[in-house]
Structure 1
Amino acid sequence: MLFTVVSAHSGCTEQPDYVIRNLNTIRSIYNITVYPNNLPIIQKGASAVPSGLFNKNAAGRISPVGNFTGFDDSIEYFFALAPTPDTNPGKVAIYEAQLVEFTSGCPEVASSLVYLRTGVIDKKTNKVDLSKPTTTLAQVAFWKFDDQGAVLNYHAWIPNLQTWTEVGNNVDFDNVVIQKAVPVQLCPQIMQNCKGDNQQYSSVATCVAALELKPFGSFDEAWGDNIVCREIHVLLTKVRPEVHCPHVGPKGGSPPDNWKCVDIDYSVDYFDDSQLFGMPLGSTFTCGAPLL
């Protein structure tokens, strides 16, 4: 099996065409997470995504956020959840995406490590304010491509998401006082974004009362019936409120299968690879599969 490593600066030469193709696809995906490149997708949704990046049936898992199935779910995770200065108290956004490690041993599979550099954005220039602290969010990912080179499946991990969130916002989310304040800040956003048929609570006060009964959760385990999960998913209510407003509601989703902020069975839901990817375990991200 061919094993090829390409540096972040593409210093290696004479790589197979598929290596360069896969590298460029992954770079293009992460470059759209850089502010303000992600704004058109937040404003217009899937129609603003460049063609050729994701297959229409794309599906994957992002730990610790959850499973995502379909083109819209996938592109919203990668692009609409990327922070913007007006969606967090620290006014932080991604100002650079550095793909620091990459390997692609066959046309259909690759793996990567990206460092997402984040900092306070000057809204007048849309540039990072380097006079203020910056930090980094990492993502490790496996990728499966279709015959045209679009991403069909992905399995990614974001380490230390809780620490990055605290450092980037200068907020201690382990502080009980801060935890009590989050619903007060979150519920007006829910009420503003989820109106009419998408309304989830009768008032801000009702929303706060309902969320105060739920565990706060952790950004390192955001998949569950907790406040943190809703803090994440409220960002997506601007894109497709009919889909995402139920996620921030009291039940965490809607039937028959639109569930996100609900308690899961760790031993099942984090390891249902065959169901999520539609292939036997050990086959999706392995060159010359099956591995098992």
Structure 2
Amino acid sequence: MAHPTAWSNHMPSPTPCTTTTNTQSYTSSIGPGPTGVNETPHFSYDELWDIHNNFLKAFTYPNNVEQAKTINSTLLAPNVIGRVDVTRVFLGQELNTEYLFGLFTGNTLNAGAATLLGIPLEYNVIHFAATDYVVSSATVHNFNFSSIILPVEIVGFFTYDSNKQISQYDVTFRRFDQIVDILVANVAQQIHVNTSAQAVSFLTNALASTICNTEVQYCNGSNQQYSDFQSCFAFLTQDIRFGTAYELGRNTLLCRNIHQYMVPLRPSTHCPHIGPSGGGYCSDDQTYPQIVQQPLFTNAPFVPEGKQNANATIAAW
């Protein structure tokens, strides 16, 4: 057997993966924050605890339904920047209101939608650290997935401006791959099949059908994405992959399933997301390094004052 280092001797020298994307390209569409707002205020620990729990309560059902209906939640800054690891980047108050609150309301906003996403019920804060305007928290929400209730841990960093509005968030759904596996296994049990492949096949047809019904009903005129239901169904079931747990922002059926929820709210904005192009939200347009190294968070640093990286691009990661 070759010496353990023999393979590495034939490997090329590693080349750092970098992105040259301009920092402004991600935030130019929302512009600067409102005049007179301090992006780096000095809240006490107790104030941040109360401010953050106010948001967490609004995230739970049925409070999230009321937030979604406001169109522009006052819990979010007009220039809010958000990222969820398994999906994508969301810019601005309206888009973040839709995806933070509207996405987890079951069938309330789109009665014909079917999804693997659940509804967040009660929660417990299990980790919490806060200083000035930055909050780092981990919460466990009980999510109702119709036929099963699962604890879902959500971990994130948040910044709050002087209006006590979220100006930035960077969130991870911990162990989401395991959650998806459990849900697929649960579907297999419900429809009495023996393999996950059979369950995924069933889900592919079921989810594609609801997406296409949504497209036919709401995506009319210039918003139309497919010539008819049949072409939509064929594309979603044959031309793209179902998707893995981390591909809810890629060219997958799961990605389009998420975005169908928002179509009734703003067809002109969201119809392209369920169409063949993916509308910039369901496409394979980013490499892994580009995702990790997005110069995104430009409203305020997530690290203590004076400690941020001198390179503005890296500081915005």
Same fold by TM-score greater than 0.5: yes
Q: Determine if contact 2:219/2:267 at 8 Å carries over to the other structure.
A: yes
Structure 1 stretch displaced more, 139-148 or 90-99:
90-99
Does 1:136 pair with 2:181? no
Larger fraction in strand: 1
CA separation in 1, counterparts of 2:118 and 2:203? Answer: 20
Structure 2 counterparts to residues 63-102 of structure 1, below 5 A: 63-84=85-106, 87-88=113-114, 92-102=118-128
Report the counterpart of residue 187 of structure 2 in structure 1: 171
Using the TM superposition, give the Cα deviation of residue 135 of structure 1 relative to its aligned residue in structure 2, in angstroms.
Answer: 0.9
Report the counterpart of residue 264 of structure 1 in structure 2: 285
Aligned residue pair count: 253
Q: Determine if contact 1:145/1:151 at 8 Å carries over to the other structure.
A: yes
CA RMSD between the two structures:
2.6
**Secondary structure of 2:170's match?**
strand
**TM-score normalised to structure 2 length:** 0.71
Q: Determine if contact 1:135/1:168 at 8 Å carries over to the other structure.
A: no
Does 1:149 pair with 2:164? yes
Deviations for 1:20-42, whole angstroms, at most 9, x for unmatched residues? 22222222222222222222344
1:19 to 19, 39, 45: 45
Q: Determine if contact 1:43/1:239 at 8 Å carries over to the other structure.
A: no
Structure 2 counterparts to residues 200-279 of structure 1, below 5 A: 200-211=225-236, 212-253=238-279, 259-274=280-295, 276-278=296-298
CA separation in 1, counterparts of 2:204 and 2:148? Answer: 27
Q: Determine if contact 1:93/1:120 at 8 Å carries over to the other structure.
A: yes
Using the TM superposition, give the Cα deviation of residue 165 of structure 1 relative to its aligned residue in structure 2, in angstroms.
Answer: 4.3
**Secondary structure of 1:60's match?**
strand
**Secondary structure of 1:61's match?**
strand
Does 1:34 pair with 2:60? yes
CA separation in 1, counterparts of 2:247 and 2:121? Answer: 25
The one-letter code sitting in structure 2 at the alignment partner of 1:137 is V
**Secondary structure of 1:270's match?**
helix
CA separation in 2, counterparts of 1:217 and 1:160? Answer: 16
Q: Which runs of no fewer than 5 residues in structure 1 stay unpaired?
A: 1-15, 122-131, 254-258
Q: Determine if contact 2:139/2:154 at 8 Å carries over to the other structure.
A: yes
Using the TM superposition, give the Cα deviation of residue 134 of structure 1 relative to its aligned residue in structure 2, in angstroms.
Answer: 1.9
Q: Does the C-alpha gap of structure 1 residues 91 and 114 become closer, same or farther in structure 2, counting only changes over 3 Å? A: closer
CA separation in 2, counterparts of 1:94 and 1:197? Answer: 35
Using the TM superposition, give the Cα deviation of residue 199 of structure 1 relative to its aligned residue in structure 2, in angstroms.
Answer: 2.1
Q: Determine if contact 2:123/2:140 at 8 Å carries over to the other structure.
A: yes
Q: Does the C-alpha gap of structure 1 residues 238 and 289 become closer, same or farther in structure 2, counting only changes over 3 Å? A: farther
**Secondary structure of 2:143's match?**
strand
Higher CA-based Rg: 2
The one-letter code sitting in structure 2 at the alignment partner of 1:177 is S
Deviations for 1:226-280, whole angstroms, at most 9, x for unmatched residues? 1111011111112222111111111111xxxxx1011132334323443x2227x
CA separation in 2, counterparts of 1:217 and 1:193? Answer: 25
Q: Which runs of no fewer than 5 residues in structure 2 stay unpaired?
A: 1-41, 189-195, 310-317
Q: Determine if contact 1:161/1:219 at 8 Å carries over to the other structure.
A: yes
**Secondary structure of 1:35's match?**
coil
**Secondary structure of 1:237's match?**
coil
Report the counterpart of residue 129 of structure 1 in structure 2: none
CA separation in 2, counterparts of 1:72 and 1:135? Answer: 29
Using the TM superposition, give the Cα deviation of residue 92 of structure 1 relative to its aligned residue in structure 2, in angstroms.
Answer: 4.6
CA separation in 1, counterparts of 2:155 and 2:116? Answer: 25
Deviations for 1:188-235, whole angstroms, at most 9, x for unmatched residues? 123223233322112111101122211111233212111111011111
Q: Determine if contact 1:21/1:149 at 8 Å carries over to the other structure.
A: no
Deviations for 1:160-182, whole angstroms, at most 9, x for unmatched residues? 33433454573256544225413
